[in-house]
Structure 1
Amino acid sequence: MTPAFAEPDAPSRPIHVVEASALDAWLNAHPVATQTWLQDSGFKANLGDLRLVPDGDGRVAGAVLGLGTADARRRTRFGAVKGLSALPAGDWQLEGPIDPAQRDEIALGWLLSTYRFDRYRPAKTPQAVRLKAPEGCDPVRLTVMAEAEFLTRDLINTPASDLGPDELESAFMALAARFGAATQAIRGDDLIAQGFPMVHAVGRASARAPRILSMRWGTSGPSLTLVGKGVCFDTGGLDLKPSSGMLLMKKDMGGAATVMGLAQMIMALGLPVRLRVIVPAVENAVSGNAMRPRDILTSRKGLTVEVNNTDAEGRLILADALAWADEENPELLISMATLTGAARVAVGPDLAPFYTDDDDLAEALSAAAAPACDPVWRMPFWDPYEPMIEPGIADLDNAPSGGMAGSITAALFLRRFVDAPRYMHFDIYGHTPADAPARLKGGVGQGARAILTGLPAMLGL
């Protein structure tokens, strides 16, 4: 599925966009018949409220879309887009005074709303509704954003029976081939020989071999490395999850899916960076050779880790991947993972919490989030919690007891494997629990558009 705007020269009907506060003035500027029609239909220009407007012969002449109030728009991202689903087939274009940010949000939201995951059940044939790219927006950039989001959603939504480490590797390699990126894959027991003992320890119990994947693209510009957690299914290992806890574990490779979507945007837009993407891909399963609670692993970096919960496996594979990435001292290193339930409890499913010690990075990212329609929230690398991840018998504890500050302690754990001064970690959820404007229930990318939009400030592009 490829998102697309209507052809710019195609005949179209207008969608008049009206804020609630401007409704009276807009009505007064239109024929009495239009005023009467909208008033009798109860149109108040509420956010997402759409009414079709007839011509003198009773045919559809156009539509009016409510933008509501500023407060309503803050509370419901992409809220205006929900009305567009009621449009009859044909090509449409936005008309009327509209803030550029709101214009771009509607355009992006419309593209995102066309997503369907129909691999296993053919979707109902949608109405052939097409929106022209609004004047003043960048249709190429918006389409690139939407296409990358579709990749991320497809990967997360695919069940583990059809998306294990092999299939994730295939998708990774296909992405690299599309843009001419160089690739590397290290699999199975070769992980031990080549210095990825914790990736091997987490994935060795599965019938599907663990691996670590890398792609490189670009020959000039600042160096940017993205690391994404690729746990294709997480049983919890010997610390087995209850059945209810496994229901969403096909999404535990959401970090990998999101960095792949971000990489696709960067490469498609030709950003002047030297990009590297690293994905450790495993399945956390149970068998006779599964890692055990209280095992002590030695990481690529040389730090020892006591495994106090085999269900805290994501930080183990990321630790080896981050250490590998850090050996090249990239100018910006970003990790993304569906790492902890504590992050979901702290900020819910909509926000992408992130950690960094660099205030300039944090400010650049936060400033980019709103125009990218991709909310983020800064969390603290809280140094006083460092003793919580030090078990005494080893350098690090992968699952501190006590149940406090779980997202923070996980982030602190990862930071121990990074010496590069400019590091950001995202503890995302990667799932929309119910249908929302431009976001169907299921897999979703978080943070990628904000990062893309913030890169010029973060890397001086």
Structure 2
Amino acid sequence: MPLLPRTDASDPIPLHVVERDRFADWKAGQSQTVRSWLDRIAFTGALGEAALVPDDNGPLAVAGYGDRDSRARGRFHLALAARTLPPGHYSLATELPAQVAEEECLGWALTNYRFDRYKEGAQASSWLLPPDFLDTDRVNAIAEGEALTRDLINTPSSDMGPEELEATVRDLAVEFGATCEVTLGDTLLAENFPMIHAVGRASPRAPRLIDMRWGDTGPTLTLVGKGVCFDTGGLNLKPGASMGLMKKDMGGAATVLGLARMIMSLRLDLRLRVLIPAVENSVSGNAFRPQDVLTSRKGLTVEINNTDAEGRLVLADALALAVEEDPDMLISMATLTGAARVAVGPDIAPFYTDNGVFASTLANAAEQVADPVWRMPFHTPYEKMIEPMIADLDNAPKGGFAGSITAALFLRRFAEGARSYAHFDIYGWQPTAAPARPVGGVGQGARAILQALPEVLYL
């Protein structure tokens, strides 16, 4: 069932959304029964309050919407009501601006998301019927794309390795009439993807490059997602605490697949390519080592100073392939650096680009759809930090400064020549429960990109 109903339910309960400073006036216009009930429960219109109230002509629901300052501290505010109100179908009785209505309906829909592969939980029981003017198909496409991203990240690595990630892409391709080609195992060497092979060769689960294409007309968009399905750190082994969430290290791949699903569901007039280097960074006798020098697809040599900085290596080969086709827009997404989390925390998707028009368009789009992003600098003077003594590039510069920036600069070397390139260093995980976002995997940046695409690709 879609996360947002496409059809009307019989006798939905009207939902009134009331700001705190307008609550008294709204209440004065209600029946004595409603006024008395709201007084009895001390309802004030504060953000997060919600109640089902009896009335002479049947029940109504009321959700407090707080004030501008309280709303600025979060997003998806009606998702709080979805968790508080009794099961049932509700319809908006308050006219909201179109963009606000879309955000709130999407948030309510995402409140119905459940990851129940291994444990039965409470099923969705509270539904918000969208207003007539809302493009329900669009909201559902976004919600279902986000649900795919969450499912992929939440699935443990035992059931979401490179092979299972490939199967997911193949299923998507069948569903939407796309094509999918895979370069597997030692064939990576024959096809000149040496760094993808080097990172994944120590695992019994063969490394691979997944290549999906969809669409026959329009501008070209290539999405590259980091698909490290588990990261031990390699020979620079992570401590247990740092390894605990490494099932989410394929969050970049999960996010671009969620975005791809949105694009294909909405049938945007573009030609889409999705590249996912899918590997497991394991430890064995043939694992790549610190101080090894790898030669990339592009021909640049890379000195390995930390085998735990493997994501940029697999992305580099995929980016080099992407540039060979000269797409109109190239975007990479990865759960790449802890430095990005230190800089902006878990809730913001930092991105890098030299395209000022894309940056400003994306920032505006992100605000419109409540998908926060923040532009970080491709600070060219730091290039010398990624240039070691014996190779062209260093995968893990010493010192610890500007770790997210140097990783992005590393990737930019392999995207050189792209018409327009942007890299997103996302977290892909919700560490504490928030409205419409339970603890677990979460998409970041995808909705902002989707919103920006018509303007940046001239669709």
- Runs of 4 or more off by more than 4 Å in structure 1? none
Q: Which amino acid aligns with 1:23?
A: F
> Structure 1 residue 351 and structure 2 residue 348: aligned?
yes
**2:176 paired with 1:179:** yes
- Letter in structure 1 aligned against 2:457: L
Aligned counterpart for 2:117 among listed residues 103, 119, 125: 119
Instruction: Verify the 8 A CA contact 2:223 2:331 in the aligned structure 1.
Output: yes
Q: Name which of 56, 62, 65 aligns with 1:64.
A: 62
* Structure 1 CA distance for aligned equivalents of residues 51 and 425 of structure 2: 40
Instruction: Say whether the 8 Å CA contact 1:6–1:131 is kept in structure 2.
Output: no
Which residue of the partner structure matches residue 16 of structure 2?
16
In the alignment, structure 1 residue 300 sits paired with structure 2 residue 266: no
Letter in 1 for 2:428: G
Structure 2 residue aligned with 1:430: 428
Q: How does 1:122-137 map to 2 (within 5 A)?
A: 122-126=120-124, 128-137=125-134
- Residue 223 of structure 2 is aligned to residue 216 of structure 1: no
- Taking only aligned residues, the RMSD between alpha carbons, in angstroms, comes to 1.2
Cα drift, residue 101 of structure 1: 2.5
1:191-210 correspondence to structure 2 within 5 Å: 191-210=188-207
| Whole-Å separation in 2 of the counterparts to 1:124 and 1:262 | 27
Cα deviation, residue 80, structure 1 = 2.5
Aligned to 2:152: 155
- 1:235 maps to 232
| Counterpart Cα distance in 1 of 2:447 and 2:10 | 29
For residues 325 and 190 of structure 1, the distance between their equivalents in structure 2, rounded to whole angstroms, comes to 18
* In structure 2, C-alpha distance between the alignment counterparts of 1:16 and 1:377, rounded to whole Å: 34
Residues 451 and 90 (structure 1), Cα distance of their counterparts in 2 relative to 1, 3 Å cut: same
Q: Structure 1 CA distance, aligned partners of 2:222 and 2:356?
A: 19
Q: Structure 1 residues 434-443 or 21-30, which shifts more?
A: 21-30
1:19 maps to amino acid: E
In 2, Cα distance between equivalents of 1:100 and 1:66: 19
Alignment-derived partner of residue 106 in structure 2: 108
Report the Cα distance in structure 2 between the residues aligned to 1:436 and 1:406, rounded to whole angstroms: 28
Whole-angstrom CA distance in 2 between matches of 1:237 and 1:248 = 15
2:79 to 78, 81, 88: 81
**Kept after mapping to 2: 8 A contact 1:354/1:426:** yes
State the 1:83 CA deviation. 1.7
Task: Specify the alignment match of 2:455 in structure 1.
Answer: 457
Residue 381 of structure 1 is matched in structure 2 by 378
Task: Name the amino acid aligned to 2:3.
Answer: P
Counterparts of 1:160 and 1:448, CA distance in 2: 23
Residue number among 218, 229, 241 corresponding to 1:244 in the alignment = 241
Matched, 1:261 2:258: yes
Counterpart of 1:168 in structure 2 is 165
CA contact (8 A) 2:109 2:127 kept: no
SS, match of residue 211 in structure 2 = strand
Amino-acid identity (%): 59
CA distance in 1 between partners of 2:36 and 2:122 (Å): 35
**2:359 equivalent in structure 1:** 362
Match of 1:314 in 2: 311
**Count of paired positions:** 458
Instruction: Please name the residue that 2:50 is paired with.
Output: 50
Unpaired segments ≥5 residues, structure 1: none
| Secondary structure at 1:63 match in 2 | strand
> Contact (CA 8 Å) 2:259, 2:450: kept in 1 or not?
yes
Other-structure match for 2:442: 444
What displacement does 1:278 show? 0.2
Contact kept, 8 Å, 1:6 with 1:130, in 2: the verdict is no
Shift of 1:98: 2.2
Code of the aligned partner of 1:116: R
Task: Give the superposition deviation at 1:21.
Answer: 1.8
Give the SS at the match of 1:68: coil
> Taking structure 1 as the reference length, what is the TM-score of the superposition?
0.97
Contact 2:227 2:252 in 1 (8 A): yes
- d(CA) in 1 for partners of 2:82, 2:198: 49
Secondary structure of the structure 1 residue equivalent to 2:351: strand
Deviation of the 1:96 alpha carbon: 1.8
Query: Any unmatched runs of 5+ in structure 2?
Result: none
Q: Deviations over 1:234-286 (max 9, x none)?
A: 00000000000110000000000000010111111010101100000000000
TM superposition score normalised by structure 2? 0.98
Over residues 7-26 of structure 1, what are the superposed CA-to-partner deviations in whole Å (9 max), with x where a residue is unaligned? 22532111111111211110
Cα shift at 1:125: 4.0
Distance (whole Å) between structure 2 residues aligned to residue 333 and residue 44 of structure 1: 49
How far apart, in 2, do the equivalents of 1:44 and 1:76 lie? Answer: 19
The answer to whether the Cα contact below 8 Å between 1:374 and 1:446 also exists between their aligned partners in 2 is yes
- Alignment check: 8 A CA contact 1:6 1:91 kept: no
Deviation at 1:99, TM superposition (A): 2.6
After superposition, the C-alpha distances for 1:107-128 in whole angstroms (9 at most, x for unaligned) are 00011110111111111344x3
